C-alpha cells in the first residue's frame, strides 16, 4: 500500500477526492464554487483557478508534449503523467484495494475499480435522468448531450467532444498502435481491444453464468445472457405493448418508435440508439479487429460479426453465384460477392430477376404437387 495515499484523510464531499490537509481541502473545494476560476481558455472557454492549470489545459488543444520518458522516449503533456508512466517500466502498483487486495498504478484507477464493489448509483443526469456510480462517469456522460466540440485535430481540423476521442483519432494520422500482444506481437490502438485479442490465445472464458454455468469472454456478454433467465417482463411499451425485463431495455426500445439516435460518432457523425452500438462502430474507424475465428484465423471488429462468420463454417452453402458458380451460406454474402466480382449492374439486375422468376416457378410447382 502506498504510504503517501494513506496520508490523504480529508475527503471532498462533492467529488470525493482525497486531500492530505484541511487547508488543501478548503482550497480544492473553491474549485466547485467557481469563486477562483478566473483564468479562461480562449479555445473552449473552460475556466481554471490559476494560470498554471490553464497553461496545462491548453496543451490538450495544441497537442504539445514537452515531457519525455527517459526509458522509451514516449512524450506527455504533464510531468506527473511521466511519473505515472514510469510505473509501467518498474511494474509498480502502489494503490491497493482494501476489499479485494487488487493493486493499481494510479489512485484514479483504484477509485474507478472501487465502483465494482458497490451497486449504488447516487449521481443523476439532469437531462435524461440516468443514474451513475460516480461524478467522473456522470461528467463523461454529459458530453453526450452537448454539441460543443472543444478538441480539434491540427492535421485535418476535425473536432471532438472528448480529448480521448481526439487522441484515438490522431492515431489514424500517425498509424500509432501502442498496445502490443506479448504472444503474437500484433498491435492495437486500444487497450480493450488488446484484452479481447488476448482471449484468443488463452481460449479463456472467465465469466460464468451462476444459473446455467455457461461461460463468456466478457462481463457485458454475461450480463446480456443473464437477461435470458428472467422470465418475468415487468416493463411494457406503451406504444406496441411489448414487454421487457429491465427499464433500460425498455428505454432503448422506445427509441425505435421515436427514431431517436442520441449517441453520435465523433468521427463520422453517424448516430446510434445505444452507446454500445456507437462504441462498436467506432472500432471500424480504428481498423481494429480483435475478434478472431478459431477455425480459419479471420478477424472481425465485433463479436456479432464473428458469430455470423462462424456459422459459414457449418451452414449449407445453398446460394450459388449465377456467373462463376461459387456458393455461399447467406444470400447477403452472395450479393456482396456479385457486386465486387461481377460489377456490371445490368448483369446483376438480369440475374436477380431471373433468380426471382425461378423462385416463383419453384413455389408454384410445390403448391400444385
Residue 360 domain flag: yes
Distance CA 113, CA 241 (A): 39
Q: What cell numbers appear for 155 in the block?
A: 492535421
Which pLDDT value is given to residue 367?
56
Q: What cell numbers appear for 57 in the block?
A: 489545459
DSSP β-bridge partners for residue 19: 10
Instruction: State the CB neighbour count (10 A cutoff) for residue 212.
Output: 11
Contacts of 365 (CB under 8 A, 6+ apart): none
Structural domain of 353: 315-368
Contacts of 211 (CB under 8 A, 6+ apart): 226, 229
Q: Which of 150, 145, 172 is nearest to 161 (CA)?
A: 150
Residue 332 domain flag: yes
Contacts of 300 (CB under 8 A, 6+ apart): 289, 291, 292, 293, 306, 309
Can you tell me whether residue 270 is helix, strand or coil?
A: coil
Q: What cell numbers appear for 24 in the block?
A: 488543501
Q: What cell numbers appear for 27 in the block?
A: 482550497
Residue 321 domain flag: yes
Contacts of 200 (CB under 8 A, 6+ apart): 292, 294
Per-residue pLDDT tens listing for the chain (369 residues): 444 444 567 777 766 677 888 888 877 776 666 555 678 888 877 777 778 888 888 887 777 888 888 888 888 888 888 888 888 888 888 888 888 888 888 888 888 788 778 777 777 887 777 888 777 778 777 777 776 777 778 777 777 777 777 877 777 777 777 788 877 778 887 777 787 777 666 655 677 888 787 777 677 778 778 877 776 777 888 888 888 877 777 887 888 888 878 777 777 778 887 777 777 777 777 666 777 787 777 888 777 777 777 777 766 677 888 888 888 877 777 888 888 887 764 455 555 555 554 555 565 555 555
Split into its structural domains, the chain has a count of: 1
State pLDDT tens for residues 318-331.
788 888 888 887 77
Do residues 319 and 328 lie in contact, with contact meaning Cβ atoms separated by under 8 Å? Answer: yes
Which pLDDT value is given to residue 44?
76
Backbone angles phi, psi at 4, to 5 degrees: -70, -40
Do residues 65 and 176 lie in contact, with contact meaning Cβ atoms separated by under 8 Å? Answer: no
DSSP β-bridge partners for residue 187: 180
Can you tell me whether residue 199 is helix, strand or coil?
A: helix
Amino acid at each position: 500500500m502506498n504510504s503517501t495515499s494513506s496520508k490523504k484523510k480529508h475527503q471532498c464531499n462533492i467529488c470525493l477526492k482525497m486531500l492530505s490537509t484541511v487547508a488543501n481541502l478548503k482550497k480544492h473545494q473553491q474549485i466547485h464554487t467557481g469563486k477562483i476560476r478566473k483564468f479562461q481558455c480562449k479555445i473552449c472557454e473552460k475556466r481554471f483557478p490559476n494560470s498554471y492549470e490553464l497553461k496545462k489545459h491548453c496543451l490538450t488543444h495544441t497537442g504539445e508534449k514537452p515531457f519525455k520518458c527517459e526509458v522509451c522516449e514516449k512524450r506527455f503533456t504533464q510531468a506527473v503523467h511521466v511519473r505515472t508512466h514510469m510505473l509501467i517500466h518498474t511494474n509498480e502498483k502502489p494503490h491497493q484495494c482494501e476489499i479485494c487486495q487488487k493493486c493499481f498504478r494510479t489512485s484514479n484507477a483504484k477509485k474507478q475499480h472501487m465502483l465494482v464493489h458497490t451497486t449504488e448509483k447516487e449521481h443523476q443526469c439532469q437531462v435524461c435522468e440516468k443514474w451513475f456510480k460516480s461524478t467522473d462517469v456522470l461528467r463523461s456522460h454529459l458530453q453526450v448531450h452537448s454539441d460543443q466540440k472543444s478538441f480539434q485535430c491540427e492535421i485535418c481540423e476535425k473536432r471532438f467532444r472528448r480529448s480521448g476521442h481526439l487522441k484515438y483519432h490522431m492515431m489514424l494520422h500517425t498509424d500509432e498502435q501502442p498496445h502490443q500482444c506479448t504472444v503474437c506481437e500484433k498491435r492495437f490502438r486500444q487497450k480493450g481491444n488488446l484484452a479481447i485479442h488476448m482471449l484468443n490465445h488463452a481460449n479463456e472464458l472467465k465469466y460464468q453464468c451462476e444459473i446455467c454455468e455457461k461461460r463468456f469472454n466478457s462481463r457485458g456478454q454475461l450480463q446480456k445472457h443473464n437477461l435470458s433467465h428472467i422470465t418475468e417482463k415487468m416493463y411494457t411499451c406503451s406504444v406496441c405493448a411489448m414487454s421487457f425485463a429491465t427499464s433500460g431495455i425498455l428505454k432503448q426500445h422506445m427509441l425505435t418508435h421515436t427514431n431517436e439516435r442520441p449517441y453520435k460518432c465523433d468521427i463520422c457523425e453517424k448516430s446510434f440508439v445505444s452507446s454500445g452500438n456507437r462504441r462498436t462502430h467506432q472500432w471500424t474507424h480504428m481498423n481494429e479487429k480483435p475478434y478472431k475465428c478459431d477455425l480459419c484465423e479471420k478477424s472481425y471488429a465485433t463479436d456479432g460479426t464473428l458469430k455470423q462468420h462462424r456459422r459459414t463454417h457449418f451452414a449449407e452453402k445453398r446460394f450459388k453465384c449465377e456467373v462463376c458458380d461459387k456458393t455461399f451460406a447467406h444470400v447477403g454474402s452472395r450479393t456482396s460477392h456479385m457486386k465486387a466480382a461481377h460489377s456490371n449492374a445490368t448483369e446483376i439486375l438480369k440475374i436477380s430477376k431471373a433468380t426471382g422468376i425461378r423462385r416463383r416457378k419453384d413455389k408454384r410447382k410445390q403448391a400444385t404437387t
